[in-house]
């Protein structure tokens, strides 16, 4: 699942966001994962 999430993150945000996983808070990571799980 982590690899799929990384791929989706790279595709969706590579050109629009410079936020990296290490710079995210735990809450932000949970939010991104919950959004990804909707698809």
Could you tell me the two tokens for 17?
């966001």
Specify the number of domains making up the chain: 1
Give the pLDDT of residue 35: 85
Please tell me whether the overall predicted TM-score, pTM, comes out greater than 0.85 for this model.
no
Residue found under tokens 């994962």: 33
Could you tell me the two tokens for 37?
């799980």
CA angle 17, 25, 3 (to 5 degrees): 65
Full residue range of the structural domain in which residue 17 is found: 1-37
Could you tell me the two tokens for 36?
């990804």
Residue 13's CB: how many other CB atoms inside 10 A? 13
1-39 confidence digits (pLDDT tens): 677 777 776 666 554 455 565 666 788 878 888 888 876
d(CA 7, CA 4) in angstroms, rounded, equals 5
């Amino acid at each position: 699942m982590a690899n799929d999430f990384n791929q989706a993150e790279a595709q969706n945000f590579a050109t629009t966001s410079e936020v990296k996983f290490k710079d995210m808070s735990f809450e932000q990571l949970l939010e991104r994962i919950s959004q990804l799980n909707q698809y």
